[in-house]
Amino acid sequence: MNIRHEDRPRRNEILDFIRSFPEATFFHTPAWMEALSAAFESFRSRWIVAREGEGIVGLMPYIEAVRGPFRFMHALPFGTYGDPLSFDLQTRVRLLESFFSSARRPACLVARAHVLNATTTDIFPRGVDTKMDECRMIRLEDGFEKYWYTDVKNKKRQDCNRGERLGVTVRSLDSDDELAGLYNLYKVESHGWGGVHPYPRALFRELFARTEEGVLILGAFLDGELLGGHIDFYFGKTAQAWQAGMSERSSEYSAGALLVKHAVKEACGMGVTGFNLGSSGGNRGIIFFKESMGGGEFRFPVGEVSKRWWGWIRKR
């Protein structure tokens, strides 16, 4: 078996391989990697590929961000998941070993991997700093009706019914102007979130151009006014709530809950069995909302290697 880092494996070859895995997510797809590379000049899409002959037997995507003479490796950036995919556990381990081995080059300051489909940090090589992170996951094996009437809190169902009676409708955004409206809502809200927010508008545009490849951008409207919106990703058996933006009036009409309801209903129609509402950063209010919408805690490991002197600078 040969393991190497590739810049441009064939697009159809990647898709054919990842479609074999029920745990694969939108973040494994060329659509996500291409959107990132197009929106950020410093980002380069890369793939660690394990091959036997010319056939792929293992795959792990990552982004290499270039800043001057230095490199940052993320599998994947923005807290998304870069799981190694293979039917063989040892191959998955070797893909991670190759990732973190490259991270030990002098020019690489930080390498980080979020592995959603591992239950412990044991999957990481020795010498990698590890922690467990959390997200909230909705289980949909039994379909939408069971989810809506059993897993969602009664108060949230009542709130959604009230919003619909007041005239709120949820549909896909269908124009650049509507996308700009959602981005503006997101930008205002995200200034208080910290980290790397707000993302550039170019990333929203790149995703809007890929709605045929698993991107669903929903808006909640009242008499033509955009109360809020969601960007959600769908691939195989997994869906992911990614980003949202809400107006000041959105809570009055339960726009956030209605957007989740419609996104989950869409997922059930696609045969999705798990809808990931994402991490909450320890925010109790966000956790409460996700749990009231049927999201249960799901924990996954994160591994990181960084240069000590860079870690010292970051802390200061």
d(CA 113, CA 73): 8
For residue 242, the model assigns a pLDDT of 96
pLDDT along the chain (316 residues), means of 10: 92 96 95 97 96 94 95 94 96 97 92 95 95 96 97 97 98 97 95 83 97 97 97 97 96 97 97 95 91 97 88 66
Tell me the two tokens of residue 160: 């959604």
For residue 193, the model assigns a pLDDT of 77
Specify the amino acid at residue 155: K
For residue 202, how many other CB atoms are within 10 A of its CB? Answer: 13
- Contact, 109 vs 307, CB < 8 A? yes
Specify the amino acid at residue 271: G
The two counts, helices (H) then strands (E), for the chain are: 10, 12
For residue 315, the model assigns a pLDDT of 64
Is the bond into 258 cis (omega within 30 degrees of 0)? no
For residue 316, the model assigns a pLDDT of 61
Whose tokens are 């107006």? That residue is 247
Whose tokens are 């810049």? That residue is 7
For residue 195, the model assigns a pLDDT of 73
- Longest CA span, the chain: 61
Residues 6+ apart with CB under 8 A from 258: 160, 163, 164, 168, 170, 220
**Helix, strand, coil percent values for the chain (each to nearest 5):** 40, 30, 30
Tell me the two tokens of residue 82: 């870069």
For residue 197, the model assigns a pLDDT of 86
For residue 241, the model assigns a pLDDT of 97
For residue 279, the model assigns a pLDDT of 92
For residue 313, the model assigns a pLDDT of 66
Tell me the two tokens of residue 95: 């893909």
For residue 110, the model assigns a pLDDT of 94
Tell me the two tokens of residue 107: 């020019």
d(CA 48, CA 36): 17
Q: What are phi and psi of 286, to 5 degrees?
A: -65, -40
Domains detected in the chain: 2-133+300-315 (3.40.630.30), 141-272 (3.40.630.30)
- Contact, 232 vs 241, CB < 8 A? yes
